[in-house]
Amino acid sequence: FRLPTLLFRPRFHSTMTALIEEAKRAAAKVAVEKHYPQDARWVGIGSGTTIVYVVEAIKALGVDTSATKYVPTGYQSKQLIIGAGLTAVEFDSIPPGTIFDVAFDGADEVDEDLNCIKGGGACLFQEKIVAMQAKEFVCVADHRKLQPRLLTGWKTIPIEVAPIAAHRVLLKLKDLGSVNPFIRVSASEKEGPLKTDQGFFIVDAPFPPLLIKSDVAAGKDVHGKDGVWAVEELARKINEIAGVLEVGIFHGQTGPQATAAGGVGGQRPV
């Protein structure tokens, strides 16, 4: 049985990869065509692999971008903007009170209420401040990311924490019902904990799937019995822990207007 597996796996793998990239590109194209204002002056640009296709789609619109400032959410994002020939302005250099016309970003998971888990790429803090500065936050997620509840497929909540407080935060997360939260290590584990663009650590905290509005309306307890929390309550509890810079749960506070599209053989905007 081994030989066919060895022979066929590479081709299967590359076909799957191509289909996933196609889904990301399709989602990005729909999101940009629907939500990019022709006269945009300030645009937030998120992080990850899907956002690459967002920038590609912005360029493909053919609109005049010479007066538009693009605000990155980290190092990769800034390089992406500059590489596309667009103008990058870092968040700490924007004029006070500037509101972005729109901010685009990817997500690790999106639920039925359009709440998101973000931070798979460790950029969640800058992603959140950029999202909260925008009139409209467009979260671009292909079909793989849509789930009825957060933490169905993606099992942990990324949380950015001050290194000095990381072990304290782990204990507090356990008190909230997280089983075995851990500090994310860098790709080459020898370098130890992964450092964010702020020089902070990422803690990944497993929790059971998070309750959505319909669960709450049906009377389910939102307060963490057996570690089961509603989205907003858990986001608030985690952000209250001293040592936490930001949590990778994006919910109503950012006014997300998520756009999810993609899939093999067609687009499925929601």
The length of the chain in residues reads: 270
Are the beta carbons of 26 and 54 closer than 8 angstroms? no
H or E stretch at 117: strand 116-117
Binding range to ligand 5RP, per CB under 6 A, among 6-14, 34-42, 45-53, 220-228:
45-53
Identity of the residue, 118 or 251, whose beta carbon is nearer to ligand 5RP in the bound complex? 118
To ligand 5RP, the closest distance from the beta carbon of 187 in angstroms equals 15
Select the residue interacting with ligand 5RP from 27, 50, 166, 210 (CB under 6 A): 50
Select the residue interacting with ligand 5RP from 29, 69, 118, 184 (CB under 6 A): 118
Alpha-carbon distance 191 to 118, whole Å?
Answer: 24
Select the residue interacting with ligand 5RP from 32, 36, 45, 47 (CB under 6 A): 47
Are the beta carbons of 77 and 70 closer than 8 angstroms? no
Alpha-carbon distance 33 to 29, whole Å?
Answer: 6
Active-site residue identified among 127, 136, 160, 232: 127
Select the residue interacting with ligand 5RP from 31, 72, 100, 105 (CB under 6 A): 105
Asked if 123 touches ligand 5RP (CB under 6 A), the answer is yes
Tell me the three state secondary structure of residue 238: helix
To ligand 5RP, the closest distance from the beta carbon of 47 in angstroms equals 4
Select the residue interacting with ligand 5RP from 28, 40, 68, 120 (CB under 6 A): 120
Asked if 111 touches ligand 5RP (CB under 6 A), the answer is no
Beta bridge partners of 45: 72, 104
Produce one character per residue of 178-198: b if its CB has 16 or more CB atoms within 10 Å, e if not: beebbbbeeeeeeeebeebbe
Q: Looking at the annotation, which residues are catalytic?
A: 127
Binding site for ligand 5RP (CB under 6 A): 46-50, 105-108, 118-124, 127
